[in-house]
Amino acid sequence: MNIETRNTTSTKRDGKRASNRASNRDAILQAARTVFAELGYGGATVRDIIRRTTLATGTFYNYFTNKEEVFEALTQESGEELRALLSAARQEADNFEQFIEASYLTYFSYYAENPETYHLVRSNRGRDGGNINMRGPQVTAGLAEMRQDIERAMKLGMIPQNDAALLTAAIGGVAFSILDEIMQGDKIDPQGAARFATKLFMRGIDGGIDGA
């Protein structure tokens, strides 16, 4: 076997190994998403996760140290995806009403289309004895990005001048509360929920609650 052939064989072998590693990691993550959604973070174990795959138990530890690392990988993945969608939706808005409605519709629709991800995130609430619904790293980053967009929109005159921090917290708080309500109901209606939340904020920003 000449050097060129040896190098080609080695490259193919390395490529296959990398592909297998990626496939194994994805299998673990997908299994963990289902297990966390069904059992909750506290009730799930590494054994529960690996049983949902065709992999040997020891394989898990080639990729993750414990279930917490898997959970963090999943929440980071979904959080970054949702944050990108929200940012794009807000950037396309031409006025405050569009800004609000696009934010809510994107947020509610994402979880309506990915119910396992919702239950995954919800299973972590109360972990370590605290309610981290609005204090996780992805939520914190997402709220910071929304505040930046709000401040930008205020400078452009799209949003009336207000306290950006309080407005961000209010929008986020309503989003979290309404999301729980619609995801636990018999009918998930992202469009209806987004319209309701938007009307609530448009009335509030105009200084009244009786208007249309």
DSSP 206: T
Residue 104 has pLDDT above 50, yes or no: yes
> CB-based burial of residue 185 (10 Å sphere; 0-12 exposed, 13-18 middle, 19+ buried)?
exposed
Residue 124 confidence (pLDDT): 67
**C-alpha closest to that of 28 among 5, 65, 59:** 59
| Assigned CATH topology for domain 74-206 | Tetracycline Repressor; domain 2 (1.10.357)
Calculate mean pLDDT across residues 80-100: 95
Calculate mean pLDDT across residues 128-144: 70
Query: Using a CB cutoff of 8 Å and minimum separation of 24, what contacts does 189-192 make?
Result: 190/105, 190/108, 190/109, 190/112, 191/105
Look-up of token digits 């207000």:
162
Residue 209 has pLDDT above 50, yes or no: no
Residue 80 confidence (pLDDT): 95
C-alpha Rg value of the chain to the nearest Å: 22
Calculate mean pLDDT across residues 169-190: 91
Residue 126 confidence (pLDDT): 53
Residue 77 has pLDDT above 70, yes or no: yes
Where along the chain do its domains lie?
A: 1-64, 74-206
Q: Give, for 131, the enclosing helix (H) or strand (E).
A: none
CATH superfamily for domain 1-64? Homeodomain-like (1.10.10.60)
* Residue 127 contacts residue 41 (beta carbons within 8 Å): yes
Distance CA 106, CA 88 (A): 10
Residue 207 has pLDDT above 80, yes or no: no
Residue 127 confidence (pLDDT): 52
N-term to C-term CA, the chain? 80
Look-up of token digits 């990691």:
25
Distance CA 110, CA 13 (A): 38
Distance CA 106, CA 85 (A): 7
Residue 205 confidence (pLDDT): 55
Question: How would residue 187 be classed by pLDDT, with cut points 50, 70 and 90?
Answer: confident
| pTM passes above 0.95 | no
Residue 5 has pLDDT above 90, yes or no: no
More confident residue, 3 or 45: 45
